[in-house]
Amino acid sequence: MSKKDLKIPPRGLLVTGLIYSPEVEISTIKENLELEFGPIMFEAGPVAFTWTKYYEKEMGQGLLRHFIAFDSLVPQDTLAQIKLQAMKLEEQWTKDGNRRVNIDPGILTAERLVLATTKNFTHRIYLGSGIYGDLTLIFYKGRFSFLDWTYPDYKSKFALGFLNEARKRYLAMIKKKRG
């Protein structure tokens, strides 16, 4: 096989999961995200973040969960760069060394959702610059399927409703681009 036979995969839909303190206005977060990543196509939330207490020590109590899909398709190999941009954005809402906003970007394709993380684990693939790709969900037999490591909030009806709608819009964008 020659290099000319290699195929670049289609672009993916940029999505972000936000966990944030109620002391930060969601409108401010969204404005900054749009400046960095472009217009928001649609969103879901906020809802109370009750799936784990993992973030409370750093971010406080009463945390909120929000999902955003951007109106742009991005090369799948840019996820590490996007995570670094998101981490830089988080810095503006850091107080006394603690984040008040957690931005988790991911790339949604027809087949999967891959989130970016700085934490290594057995199922994560190193993408470069200290960032790993976490295969969070796969789309199989007409629905999103969980994996042993899928985060509890990504198994929720709230998240799946958002992701199913995002996938539907993504497929329409891809079809329009081809047509």
The answer to whether the beta carbons of residues 112 and 163 sit under 8 Å apart is no
Structural domain contains residue 56: yes
In this structure, what token pair is assigned to residue 2? 């020659």
Taking each helix axis from N to C terminus, what angle separates 79-91 and 26-37, rounded to the nearest 10 degrees?
A: 140
Structural domain contains residue 89: yes
The range of the structural domain enclosing residue 106 comes to 10-178
Structural domain contains residue 61: yes
| Burial class (CB within 10 angstroms; exposed 0-12, middle 13-18, buried 19+) of 157 | exposed
Structural domain contains residue 3: no
Structural domain contains residue 4: no
- Residue 1 confidence (pLDDT): 66
Structural domain contains residue 148: yes
- Residue 3 confidence (pLDDT): 76
Structural domain contains residue 93: yes
Task: Going from the first residue of the chain to its last (179 residues), give the mean pLDDT of each consecutive group of 10, the final group possibly shorter.
Answer: 82 98 97 98 97 95 98 96 98 95 98 97 96 98 96 97 98 82
d(CA 100, CA 49) in angstroms, rounded, equals: 13
Structural domain contains residue 76: yes
If one counts the domains in the chain, the total is: 1
